[in-house]
Structure 1
Amino acid sequence: MDKQPVPKKELTAQWILLVAVFIIATCGLIYELVAGTLASYLLGDSVTQFSIIIGVYLFAMGIGSYLSRFFNTDLLGWFIKIELLVGMVGGFSAAILFLVFPLAISFQPILYALVGVTGILVGIEIPLLLRILKDKVAFKDLVSKVFTFDYIGALLASLIFPLLLVPYMGLIRTSLFFGILNICVGLYLTRYFYGEIRNVRQIRFSGILLLLAQVLAFILSEKIMSYSETLAFNDKVVYSTSTPYQRIVITKSKRDLRLYLNNNLQFSSVDEYRYHEALVHPAMTAAGNPRHVLVLGGGDGLAVREILKYPSVESVQLVDLDPAMTRLFSSQQILQQINKYSLKNSKVTVSNADAFTWLKKHRQQRFDCVIVDFPDPSGFAIGKLYTTAFYRLLQTVLQPGAAVVIQCTSPYVAPRSFWSINTTLMACGFHTVPYHNYVPSFGEWGYIMALDQDHYQVPDTFAITARYISKPVMEQMLQFPEDMKAHTPLEVNKLNNQALVHYFEEEWGKYLEQ
């Protein structure tokens, strides 16, 4: 028997609903990615946050699929109502989470609840759509078409999110944009299927109200973000941006400028000299008269500022992952005044790259001193930069007699983390010199020098004029009280165990809960 041709109007309806599947899949994954990225910014440890959020979202979709069996009448009407709800919950999710974070005693339940509600609603939609189309499309064609459009939408979302949406729109605008898209789909369906839906006028009215609310929120998104950051920080936020790598915030008070990356304080202009003098000058002095210096991290240019005080220095190679950081600190007058225009110095070369990858590509280069100023190992992506694999790679670019120094978090808050880094460096054959100092905005902070000789002597004088560091200060920094020591054996931090990340999460987690 010949196959009957599908009427043009019915064929058009099929394609409209399949395009809706594509948009549902794209929007659903975008909301999931927004939640995961936002949680990484606010809570750290991107691997854990994304793993939990993906798990919650998929489980919630399963619940939604099960609940879809209880919808027996007016399936198209319910599908549109749920589409509007997805747009509302998903669209406002980033704004809600940013506003709630500074105020909530426990943030995670709210985060996972929003992810769960979004997942349930998206989980209801696909089964409903299959049932709507089952009498219009052959089953084998129906399943293949629905899931093809579903997966294509997911692919699109995964590509445009890191490449376009986060860098150019930020998280709040991204979630609102796709919320608006969801609502527009719902409103279009009410128009096309006007005669097939119950209470269509009420649904359209609700959709228009939601659309207006989200458009208004989209227009005011920068003010919403600024207000949420005002709640989170004590001082006025004068600059903020989201990059593919982190959230950068700068605050200003009458006497202080502060940089925060993913809500973690990086420096205070009032006392940063204590941190950077302690980080740079012991290693530079131990290296003798260093000519070629490598800085890993430190995109603010403050460590480079200290390095350039040495007349022996001929070149400084700075490697920082985020071009937004180095661009910011080499272009804004107030920030350049703090780093003394160090990133504009002719001796300085800036490369924006992953430090691991950069070292692999530049093994032929040699340096007399290496300053490692990475963020704390709060997640596996950064934790890899504290492993034996990284330190052995670092050894390949060292001149004989070179000195390396690494910032190593707080030995008071996280003694096991600090001494785990020391253990890891020793496992690579370095002779280590652990030390610490007090930075008022940070508290006690730790560093480890790694040398190729088993003897370090505090110099009688430092070759530069310093505000803080001196021979008596350095001698004091080498002394560790008992509450800054680890009293149990510690694992070497390797790529396949990332023991340091677990130590760090446990110790800082306990400290922040107090």
Structure 2
Amino acid sequence: MIEPHAPAPPGAPPSWAGPARLPVRPGTGRFLVLACVFVCAACGLVYELELVAFASYLIGDSVTQSSVVLSVMVFAMGIGSLGAKRLRWHAAAGFGVIETVLALVGGCSAMALYAVFAWTGGWGGMWADGPRCLLVAFSLAIGLLIGAEVPLLMELIQRIRHQDAGGAVADLFAADYVGALVGGLAFPFLLLPFLGQLTGALFTGTVNVVAGGALVLGLFRRDLTRRARWALLLGGLVVLGVLAAAAALVGDFERAARHAVYGKDVRVAEQTDVQEVVLAGGTDGRPLDLFLDGRLRVGGRDERRYHEALVHPALSGGAHARVLILGGGDGLAAREVLRRPGVRRVDIVELDAGLVRLARHDPGLTAVNGHSYDDPRVHTTTSDALGWLRGAPTAAYDVVIADLPDPGITASTKLYSQEFYGLTRRVLAPGGRLVVHAGSVTTRPRCFWTVAATLRAAGFAGSPYRVLGHDSGFPAGPDRSAGRSSAPHDWGFLLARPGRTPPSLRLGPWHPRTLTQAELTADGRAAGRTRIGGLPASTLVHPRY
């Protein structure tokens, strides 16, 4: 609750300019200032969350990006608060200018970040770090402006009627914190689902400039000169015009940016409840590319090499009547499993229902996955793999295939933890095998061998192998801003079973189209030569990737 006005103690120095000349009663004016504090706090937190979310999506590694944004922004807020002392004597005009600039910078920050990522991120060299540099710049600028708000708002509320410092600070921060709560909840539950990141940021900037302009030009207009009033009004209208024009062009901008990132064959671009799914090609004889949150998950030239190497060594080591696929919502791993005789049941546990829907109905994706979801042996569950395993029956599967995102992606680290593999071991029948996609052996060997160490800590013995791919130009790891690479493109796998004896790498009588026994043996030796010993296991409370 905001306490009623408490007069300053006797002997307190008067305000520098005396009470403000307001068009409303002082109590109403004080309420309007606190209402503006509420709105500005909500907008400020939305800018902050928007930077964190967009940086995590564009660059990857959400922990690092969150730390960078929050630390830089809080530091800048302190500097901005100190700098605002010079504006105290012109608090109304200064606050109006700050809100106008903040609305422009914060509202356009998402589009600017996306533009730099889309059109310069693939240039390599110094341009590869462009999104990171711009992220720090926006965090610094927005933090400076937000930090300058509170001292000026304190001066304005004291101009209405002087109040003891403790009471004024309590009222101001109460409105500020409640506004931050509303902004923090509005971002994931209203702005993102209904407006998206780009339009949501532009809408927030519009609310920001309207609230700041209304307070200064409506409540404190008598503190401004005629020239200052017109300057603030014109500046606000220009910012509103820029934000409105940007909002009108968001659709065209997104399409152009997607073409810059993914090429001109984009057919489907859908933001599901979990991730952005983009399908390029897949019709009229063009190869299909599947991007999940901007990372090339399925490349038209390489998808069969990847999925055959993932599935067939695991199925060749013994019984494979009951198969569990963790991830693999695109249906491509299931396609390879269903090619093998003797498979009676395939359970797919996929977090993203939107990806499963596309895999069932998109003509390009269904053609590639062989309509695997139409097979009556396939059963799908929409769930988080870790949570599902906790309630799964014991000894229920002969083979478990972990077709999951890269372990270096923050949201995926729990799916490569010792606890996760312990739960996986529990659902394996005697003699069962687990195969894990563990990232690139060539470019990220430490990450790969950390997965191996984690499997060993969970009671598995693993055999490493890798296969080379052909597609390049998109980072295979968690960092989307890495730019194009000329390094060999490969996928690393670990075939494991409970106990101390690792399973042998063999294909048996089955002959995949892109993998021979000689190649598999050579790929196992090549992966083994990169071995890094002494690495600790990754756990839920101490991820190592």
Q: Tell whether the structures are fold-level matches, with TM greater than 0.5.
A: yes
TM-score of the two chains, using structure 1 as the length reference: 0.89
Deviates more, 1:409-418 or 1:307-316: 307-316
Match of 1:163 among 189, 201, 206: 189
1:384 CA drift (Å)? 2.1
Partner of 1:251: 280
Contact 2:505-2:520 within 8 A present in 1 as well = no
Shift of 1:203: 1.1
Q: How far apart, in 1, do the equivalents of 2:498 and 2:199 lie?
A: 51
Q: What letter is aligned with 1:228?
A: A
In structure 2, which of residues 315, 318, 323 is the aligned counterpart of residue 284 of structure 1?
Answer: 315
- Distance change in 2, residues 1:390/1:3 (3 Å): closer
Q: Structure 1 residue 271: deviation in Å?
A: 2.4
Query: Larger deviation: 93-102 or 355-364?
Result: 355-364
Correspondent of 2:524 among 461, 475, 478: 478
Which residue is equivalent to 2:152?
A: 128
**Residues 323-348 of structure 1: per-residue CA shift (max 9 Å, x gap):** 33223322322222222222343333
Structure 1 counterpart of 2:396, one-letter code: R
SS of the aligned residue for 1:485 comes to coil
Moved over 6 A (4+): none
AA aligned to 1:331 is H
How many correspondences in the alignment?
Answer: 494
Asked if structure 1 preserves the Cα contact closer than 8 Å seen for 2:288 and 2:364, the reply is: no
Provide the C-alpha distance between the structure 2 equivalents of 1:408 and 1:186, rounded to a whole number of angstroms: 51
Choose between structure 1 and 2 for higher RCO, CA contacts under 8 A separated by at least 6 residues. Answer: 2
Q: Does the Cα contact within 8 Å between 1:287 and 1:369 map onto a contact in 2?
A: no
- Once residues 398 and 527 of structure 2 are traced to their aligned partners in structure 1, the CA distance between those partners, rounded to angstroms, is 32
The answer to which of 406-415 and 305-314 deviates more is 305-314
Q: Residues 460 and 394 of structure 1: is their aligned pair in 2 closer, same or farther, counting only changes over 3 Å?
A: closer
Deviation at 1:158, TM superposition (A): 2.0
Unaligned runs of 5+ in 1: 502-514
1:186–1:207 contact (8 Å) kept in structure 2: no
In structure 2, list runs of 5 or more residues that go unmatched.
8-21, 121-126, 473-488
Deviations 1:248-277 (A, max 9, x none): 333338732212223321111232011001
Which runs of structure 2 are paired with 1:87-126 in the superposition (5 Å)?
Answer: 87-101=103-117, 102-103=119-120, 104-107=127-130, 108-126=132-150
What letter is aligned with 2:454? T
Deviations 1:110-137 (A, max 9, x none): 1111111011101101110011102435
> Greater CA deviation, 242-251 or 91-100?
242-251
Q: What do the CA deviations read for 1:218-270 (whole angstroms, capped 9, x no partner)?
A: 12112212222333334443332444543333333873221222332111123
Q: Which moved more, 1:437-446 or 1:131-140?
A: 131-140
Q: What secondary structure, in the 3-state scheme, does the structure 1 residue paired with 2:491 have?
A: strand
Match of 1:302 among 319, 332, 351: 332
> Equivalent residue for 2:252?
223
1:426 is paired with a residue whose SS is helix
1:401 is the counterpart of 2:431: yes
What corresponds to 1:240 in structure 2? Answer: 269
Deviation at 1:479, TM superposition (A): 2.4
Residues 297 and 374 in structure 1, CA contact (< 8 A), matched pair in contact too: yes
Percent identity of paired positions between Structure 1 and Structure 2: 33
Matches within 5 A, 1:80-91: 80-91=96-107
- How well do the aligned residues superpose, as a CA RMSD in angstroms? 2.5
User: How many angstroms apart in 1 are the aligned matches of 2:26 and 2:355?
Assistant: 54
TM-score by length of 2: 0.85
Counterpart of 2:490 in structure 1 is: 444
| Among 210, 231, 238, the residue aligned to 2:239 | 210
2:292 matches 1:265: no
C-alpha distance in 1 between matches for 2:331 and 2:491: 19
Separation in structure 2 between the aligned mates of residue 164 and residue 293 of structure 1, nearest angstrom: 39
In 1, Cα distance between equivalents of 2:317 and 2:423: 21
Taking the aligned partners of 1:349 and 1:126, their CA distance within structure 2 comes to 56
Deviation digits for residues 307-361 of structure 1 (CA, Å, limit 9, x no counterpart): 2223433332222222332233223222222222223433333223221111112
Does structure 1 residue 368 correspond to structure 2 residue 398? yes
- Against the structure 1 CA distance between its residues 493 and 345, is the aligned structure 2 distance closer, same or farther, given a 3 Å change threshold? same
Aligned-residue offset at 1:191:
4.5
1:29 is matched with 45
